[in-house]
Structure 1
Amino acid sequence: WAKLEAIVGNKDRIATLANDIVTHFKEREQVFEGKAMIVAMSRRIAADLYEEIVSLRPEWHSNDLDKGVLKVVMTTSSSDGPKLQKHHTTKAQRKALAQRLKDEDDPLKLVIVRDMWLTGFDAPCLNTMYIDKPMKDHNLMQAIARVNRVFKDKPGGLIVDYIGIATNLKKALGFYSESGGKGIPAETHEKAVDIMLEKLEVVRQLLHGFDYSGFFDAAVKDKLSLILRTEDFILNIEDGKSRFIKEVTLLGQAYALAKPDQATMDNAEEIAFFQAVKARLAKFETGGAGSGNGYDTVIKNIVDSAIASDQVIDIFSAAGMEKPELSILSEEFLKEIQGMKYKNVAIELLKKILNDEIKLRSKHNLTKSKSLMDMLNAAIRRYQNNLLTTAEIIEELIRIAKEINKADKRGEEMGLSEDELAFYDALETNDSAVKVLGNDQLRAIAREIADKVKKNATIDWTIKESVRARLMVIVRRILNKYGYPPDKQPAAIELVMKQAENLADVWSMA
């Protein structure tokens, strides 16, 4: 062991190792944000490697525990020299460093360890392990598992072998399989490159018949316009959006693992284009897929560089639209959408805007928002079933947008506050009640219910059965007072209580 440690810890070798790790990690960060662990053979080598790395990157060093990009995690004894002792950590300090490493936003990016944190340590944002220590069997499997934890769009962990663990890894994987382990816990780098090239071809085939070659040399405005045309082409393919997003996501994952192979360099611009298109398509998603910035973290930097610009670009102009001066659902803006060159994009844009606007209003008026959402979903279903043409669905979506605008003004026209209108809509769903009482009576009921419920709703009333029961009694008395049809009261009370619960969050923030 001593002879091997002396060879592994040779000064020139440590300098070469430090340079390679720094270069590789910085390149990997450009396409795949995450953190890394370096496994050293001994504490002496760990300390020497730290010095070599900070000589290359002085800004990574800090004497403060809560600062710095690079740290050594180990213990020392009184017999160790000052070079090792300065890296000594107590149990409390190691706990603090662990929290820093687990926090994806913390500047601590790399740690050097010998034995610590190789088993039982979970930091999902850890995606790279540099191994410079002989390891085998269970210990090796435990170590590589540190970088394979599920995290966001991480495709898997990357193991960089400096010591020659390939044979031991095969044996460990054989033991893993024999013990009943499922799946493939490790793939070679060459396999990742093959998968990347395979997925690249799949995405190219999805765009067969569409020429996007002009993207790479175009000005930024023209690049944005080409991205929109590509979206329009994809949206015209059956299930095109979901297929494109799925395949480009898989391509991005393979790219992240294959980097920095020459094949990734050769195809980086084209992959960046695909990711830019995917990001725009994902913006149309009404669920979680469209959240955040829309880019996979594994690829965002090459996307940024592909459409980087030092000039201000009018995105509306690139889309063939005049920039709207008024609100998102103004007449002017809706007319611009209706006149867009890319009709499939216009449909997706309208669907997304309307869905978001209705959800926003549902925080205040549950009943009306449900009615509008039902209207939107019905229109989309008719379009998907080929009962509406492209022009007709755009007309229908714009009509729904105008309904939303109209709904926003109803309270003012009826002399009701926003809260009162929400309860009015909950009561108005019953047609027979409207016929018996008329709008004036319903408005009076809505005003009184809004006033009484707001006064009697405590902070935690939604979880206190006694408070809920009291509110239901109050609502029932008001309905009886105004002659609300008895047989319709249970449904009305249920709707009023749901609306009250919906408003509870609004009231608590007021």
Structure 2
Amino acid sequence: MPKFDEAQLEQAIIELFVKNGYDYVSGESIHRKYDEVLLVDDLKSFMLSKYPDLNGKELEIITNKLKFVPTSPLYIGNRQAFFLVNEGFDLARDDTSKPPIHIDFIDYENPENNIFKVVNQFTVVDVRERRPDMLIFVNGIPLAIFEFKAAIKEETTIYDAWKQIHIRYNRDIPVLTKYSFLSVLSDGANTKMGSIFTPYEYYYSWNKANDEEKVSNGVSALLTMIDGAFAKDRLIAILQDFIYYPDSDKKEKAIVTRYPQFFAANKMLANIKAHLKPASDGKGGTYFGATGSGKTNTMLFLSRLLATHDRDIFNSPTIIIIVDREDLSNQTSELFEGSKRYLKDKNVKSIASRAELKSELSTNESGGVYITTIQKFEEETGLLSERNNIICISDEAHRTQTNTGSKLKYTDKGVETTYGFAHYLRDAFPNATYAGFTGTPVDETVHVFGDIVDSYTMKESTDDGITVRISYEPRLARVIISDEQTDEIDKYYNEATEAGANEEQVEASKRAMSKMTQILSHPDRIKKVATDIADHYDKLVSEKPEIVQKAMIVCSNREHAYRVYQELKNIRPEWFVPKKTDRDDLNDVELEKLQELTKVNIVATRGKDDEQEMFDLLGNGDHRKMLDKQFKNDNSNFQIAIVVDMWITGFDVPSLAVMYIDKPLQKHALIQTISRVNRVFEGKDHGLIVDYIGIKKAMMEAAKKYGDPQESPIDELPITLGIFRNHLAMIDELIVNFDASDFYNSNPAERLLCLNRGAEYIQTSKEMELRFMGLSRRMKMAYEIAYPSGELTDEETKKAQFYLAIRSIIYKQTKGDAPDTETMNKHVQELVYQAITSTGVEDIINNDTDELFNDEFQKQLDELDMPITKFNALLKMLQKQINMYGKTNKLKAIEFSERLKRVVEAYNNRDAQLFVSEVVYDFIDDLSSQLLDILKDLQDDKDSFSKLGISYEEKAFYDILVKVRDEHKFEYVDEKCIDLAKAIKELVDDKAQYADWSSRDDIKNQLNMDLTVLLYENGYPPEWDEEVFEKVMEQAENFKKIFLIIKR
């Protein structure tokens, strides 16, 4: 059965686009020069259909406006091109009696009026020559770039596609990528979208074509990406409102919407429109989005839609973003105040006081985006505006944002009626419409803001890879002082479950909390907790030494936090030496951003009665802002934050890997807190919650309430341990006949040899190799969670490290750099490095062409005494050499590839030989000898051009002439073939300037005629043969690539 490779995947995707109404065009049929990437005819055709009275000069100005966007720096050019395409520009008319006209490059109001094309085989030459797999053009502009990899090839993934775009294309063909606003990676089974500046871990699938559908995955996710994100009207909507570039160009940031954000923003817009006062109730609706799934960006997208759509209905609304904490206000303000161009409003600001807000609203009758805290609205605030074009969007709409009702307060003066902040907010804006965003909605949220308009659960978020899963590790038993304490903790949680039902239960909850505080603050217990945290964290970071893993310790109050800090200082004094960083590879600019800090710091407010040392340690507001900035900097020495109430909600640090909880938490506060560790970060498979207080039951109940009632998004340690041990046992059984005793019992040199023997043993059978790689991959995922817990035995740990080291060696030898080596135990990582380098494999693979077959190369081969390792090294080097040769001489490259293919097929069928190990190794040694023979022949053939007195490129035509002559058995001496090859190359040089030369009938006919005359005049062949022409044309097609690079 034929394999489903990149070309077939490409063809299948093209067909899907054609079904969606796109026109398909092969890039080879488009008449253009290779450094011209705009389809100018399409652009002009669109312009004339939209602006019929444009003249030729004006069309040239429009084309050049887009064409001459800079390519360097690429981000500046890409950003400038996007704003041009997104916003258009004002064109001064050639006829000065006519007023200027606004030119749009895309018709956003009528998507069907645009010209949509899907194009492949589109070669671009800029710094180097590259040919992306597929491009989407709208009105002649290449707005989206696609790169494919075959799902059936284990050695290639969509990460390779990401590298192709982000490294090679951005570096080599910026003339194209400056217009690429969307970037898609696919292998058929995995399809993800981002921008050309999006880190790989932030590419996401588009798993719904329409919001009502079920989530798709696998191959069906490819269909939903095309039907969902690239349906014509949807693509235009994304280009118009859902690609975000900040006002500042200091960071290379371009955000593409995720599908839940796209659907949520549009549904919230429609719901707000339907509930505007005075015609309706002013309840704009509630959005329930999992913590960490990007709600703040969704609010930004919604604000853009409110500001730019349905102007006759919204009347240029004033948008007020309301948060309930100062630190959240700072984060939200930073995003919104840096988005004035995106929001189409220069008046975007954070409000410092009620007076400032009142002044802004009285000065501006419309427009404006303001960020403020709910606490600014009190009884004395009074009426601020009766306008009905005010939209209030509340972030974290489950806390102080819902207290619109009254309460009775008993004082010495009697009974008073009091109201919450949300009540006074509505007094200030009685005709506004209110919308709420929350990750943990409570009943009051729906009552105040209206029904849930859209939702995106924790499970959906982890399934989509927008957040990582949370793993749970209980360690209460390690720090408990007595059984009585356990009883008191259980009692607390039982009381807390009922808290708030009546006054008696509230008082019972307070008494339970008081006892809990005493338990948590016991000096012996704090010492145990601090010691366990220090040991656990050391073990955690030792497993992934190359990955930043920040930690947060959540304490019950400030005094508790200070005591944990002091105890850690006693246990790990080296953590408390102030410095900027542990890293030695940072440049001056990066170092300048860092402060000298200890590894551990407390983040909490001061109290007026604090002892002096504690008072100085906690610092003021500016100090806390500095700590905030440093903790978010992955390079900073500040790695462990001790917190109480700050930073446990609405605080994003993707590198936060573990949270140690020593504070009673329940319901939405618990989910908000533990969700700090669920952010995506490079090398981070999960976030870890370590529990010192017994929150498991409360956590699971909260997870079901705010996640999926059928399946918890939290992985429990016992389940993970079971998975790890099952896979470890299956690997033991798989290689039961291999003696690994040297790895466990011998000196370092013997251990290295044992690792290499293990890799060799597993590869004696293809079936064994595939099974081992699959089992070890799954075991590794469980091991990374289980190891820091201390629940694994020494034997289990050593075995796991042995198997993971072998896995990395096999991966390195057969497929390239192992993607998992950086997440390995540091000791084993070093072993893998030594084991691989000790074999000499890398020296062979990276050997320069000029050094092949010299004494040093032969010595390297002789020293490589493991047959399979030697075979894999030679195979990789030979593949590399054939690919390089094929760029110039396609004919010979095909011949050598066929020889190589036969050897590889024999190797892959080694299982069918039923050999014992010794005979298998003889068999593989013979295959290695065959590879060496091919390599020698290849080198001889490559070097033969100099003996013939022709160039490297001319020899490609010479080889065709000789091959056809010998196959058809006619006389034509080699010297005449040499002269003719030179003449053919010179002839083709002139014709290969244009991308479409091979499909343009006029150019092809001219070349046909010129070749016919040239061959006839030179008497080749004696009788005309069409095959000669076809072979020369085929090589000419291949040759043009080299020709263009040489010319540049």
Q: 1:186 aligns with which of 714, 717, 736?
A: 714
Matched, 1:36 2:550: yes
Displacement after TM superposition at 1:166 (Å):
1.1
SS in 2 for 1:158: strand
8 Å contact from structure 2 (residues 561, 602) kept in 1: no
Return closer, same or farther for 1:66/1:152 CA change in 2, 3 Å cut-off. closer
Matched, 1:384 2:908: yes
8 Å contact from structure 1 (residues 445, 478) kept in 2: no
% identical aligned pairs: 22
Return closer, same or farther for 1:361/1:137 CA change in 2, 3 Å cut-off. farther
Q: Which has more helix, going by share of residues?
A: 1
Tell me the residue number matched to 2:730: 202
Alpha-carbon displacement from aligned partner over 1:299-336 (angstroms, at most 9, x marks no partner) = 33131576899xx9993599xx9xx9997742664697
8 Å contact from structure 2 (residues 958, 981) kept in 1: no
Tell me the residue number matched to 2:345: none
SS in 1 for 2:659: strand
Which stretch shifts more, 75-84 or 261-270?
75-84
Please show how residues 108-187 of structure 1 align to structure 2 within 5 Å.
108-114=638-644, 118=648, 123-149=653-679, 154-176=684-706, 178-179=708-709, 184-187=712-715
Displacement after TM superposition at 1:25 (Å):
1.0
Aligned-partner Cα distance in 2 for 1:92–1:429: 74
SS in 2 for 1:160: strand
Q: Which has the higher contact order (CA 8 A, sep 6+)?
A: 1
Matched, 1:85 2:602: no
Displacement after TM superposition at 1:48 (Å):
5.8
Tell me the residue number matched to 1:462: none
8 Å contact from structure 1 (residues 148, 157) kept in 2: yes
Displacement after TM superposition at 1:254 (Å):
2.1
Displacement after TM superposition at 1:210 (Å):
1.7
Aligned-partner Cα distance in 2 for 1:141–1:363: 56
Tell me the residue number matched to 2:817: 291
Q: 1:250 aligns with which of 762, 778, 788?
A: 778
Q: Which amino acid aligns with 1:30?
A: S
Q: Which amino acid aligns with 2:662?
A: D
Which stretch shifts more, 245-254 or 388-397?
388-397
Consecutive unaligned residues of structure 2, counting only runs of 5 or more, are 1-509, 581-591, 914-922, 1016-1025
Alpha-carbon displacement from aligned partner over 1:398-443 (angstroms, at most 9, x marks no partner) = 222223322431343344445x358748977994899899343223
Aligned-partner Cα distance in 1 for 2:960–2:909: 34
Q: Which amino acid aligns with 1:38?
A: M
Matched, 1:61 2:578: yes
Aligned-partner Cα distance in 2 for 1:138–1:506: 64
Displacement after TM superposition at 1:168 (Å):
0.8
Q: Which amino acid aligns with 2:985?
A: A
Q: Which has the larger radius of gyration?
A: 2
Alpha-carbon displacement from aligned partner over 1:56-91 (angstroms, at most 9, x marks no partner) = 334563588624463658575897954323574677
Which stretch shifts more, 72-81 or 259-268?
72-81
Q: 1:70 aligns with which of 582, 599, 620?
A: 599
Return closer, same or farther for 1:404/1:300 CA change in 2, 3 Å cut-off. farther
8 Å contact from structure 1 (residues 31, 298) kept in 2: yes
Displacement after TM superposition at 1:281 (Å):
0.9
Alpha-carbon displacement from aligned partner over 1:343-392 (angstroms, at most 9, x marks no partner) = 33333332233234444556676665555445423431244346995354
Alpha-carbon displacement from aligned partner over 1:187-225 (angstroms, at most 9, x marks no partner) = 332333332222221111121112121222223333233
Displacement after TM superposition at 1:338 (Å):
7.8
Aligned-partner Cα distance in 2 for 1:139–1:187: 19
Matched, 1:267 2:792: no
Tell me the residue number matched to 1:233: 761
Tell me the residue number matched to 1:27: 539
Return closer, same or farther for 1:477/1:130 CA change in 2, 3 Å cut-off. farther
8 Å contact from structure 2 (residues 870, 928) kept in 1: yes
Matched, 1:330 2:859: no
Which stretch shifts more, 151-160 or 271-280?
151-160
Q: Which amino acid aligns with 1:126?
A: L
Q: 1:442 aligns with which of 972, 981, 984?
A: 981
Q: Which amino acid aligns with 1:165?
A: I
Q: 1:403 aligns with which of 937, 948, 951?
A: 937
Return closer, same or farther for 1:210/1:13 CA change in 2, 3 Å cut-off. closer
Q: Which amino acid aligns with 1:291?
A: D
Return closer, same or farther for 1:390/1:46 CA change in 2, 3 Å cut-off. same
Aligned-partner Cα distance in 1 for 2:757–2:536: 37
8 Å contact from structure 1 (residues 147, 157) kept in 2: yes
8 Å contact from structure 1 (residues 132, 161) kept in 2: yes
Q: Which amino acid aligns with 1:70?
A: K
Aligned-partner Cα distance in 2 for 1:496–1:424: 8
Matched, 1:282 2:811: yes
Displacement after TM superposition at 1:117 (Å):
5.3
Tell me the residue number matched to 2:875: 351
Displacement after TM superposition at 1:106 (Å):
5.8
8 Å contact from structure 1 (residues 235, 241) kept in 2: yes
SS in 1 for 2:944: helix
Return closer, same or farther for 1:343/1:398 CA change in 2, 3 Å cut-off. same
Aligned-partner Cα distance in 2 for 1:75–1:88: 12
Displacement after TM superposition at 1:282 (Å):
1.0
8 Å contact from structure 1 (residues 249, 296) kept in 2: no
8 Å contact from structure 2 (residues 527, 567) kept in 1: yes
Aligned-partner Cα distance in 2 for 1:12–1:341: 59
SS in 1 for 2:822: coil
Displacement after TM superposition at 1:38 (Å):
1.0
RMSD of the alignment, in Å?
4.8
8 Å contact from structure 2 (residues 875, 931) kept in 1: yes
Alpha-carbon displacement from aligned partner over 1:23-43 (angstroms, at most 9, x marks no partner) = 221121111344133142456
Q: Which amino acid aligns with 2:693?
A: I
Which stretch shifts more, 353-362 or 78-87?
78-87
Return closer, same or farther for 1:306/1:381 CA change in 2, 3 Å cut-off. closer
Aligned-partner Cα distance in 1 for 2:530–2:544: 20
Please show how residues 496-507 of structure 1 align to structure 2 within 5 Å.
496=1036, 499-501=1039-1041
Which stretch shifts more, 262-271 or 149-158?
149-158
Return closer, same or farther for 1:11/1:227 CA change in 2, 3 Å cut-off. closer
Displacement after TM superposition at 1:284 (Å):
2.2
8 Å contact from structure 1 (residues 367, 425) kept in 2: no
Return closer, same or farther for 1:132/1:338 CA change in 2, 3 Å cut-off. same
Which stretch shifts more, 164-173 or 476-485?
476-485
Aligned-partner Cα distance in 1 for 2:695–2:958: 69
SS in 1 for 2:737: coil
SS in 2 for 1:443: helix
Return closer, same or farther for 1:487/1:354 CA change in 2, 3 Å cut-off. closer
SS in 1 for 2:664: coil
8 Å contact from structure 2 (residues 630, 636) kept in 1: no
8 Å contact from structure 1 (residues 338, 394) kept in 2: no
Aligned-partner Cα distance in 2 for 1:32–1:263: 17
**Aligned residue pair count:** 479
Aligned-partner Cα distance in 1 for 2:669–2:997: 62
Displacement after TM superposition at 1:171 (Å):
0.8
